[in-house]
Amino acid sequence: MSPSPDSPRVISCAEFQEHLPELFGGPAEGVAIDPALQAHLDTCENCSALVRDLRYIADQARLLLEPAEEEPSDNVWSNIQTKLKIAAAGDEPV
Kindly report each contact of residues 80-88 with a partner whose C-beta sits within 8 Å and lies 24 or more positions away, as own/partner. Answer: none
Q: Which residues ranging from 11 to 40 are in contact with Zn ion (CB under 5 A)? A: 13
In the complex, least distance from residue 15 CB atom to Zn ion, rounded to whole angstroms: 9
7/78 with CB nearer Zn ion? 7
The counts of H helices and E strands in the chain are 5, 0
Q: Which is nearer to Zn ion, 43 or 79 (CB)?
A: 43
One-letter identity of residue 93: P
* End-to-end CA gap in the chain: 92
The stretch among 30-38, 44-52, 58-66, 78-86 that binds Zn ion (CB under 5 A) is 44-52
> Which residue ranges make up the site for Zn ion (CB under 5 A)?
13, 44, 46-47
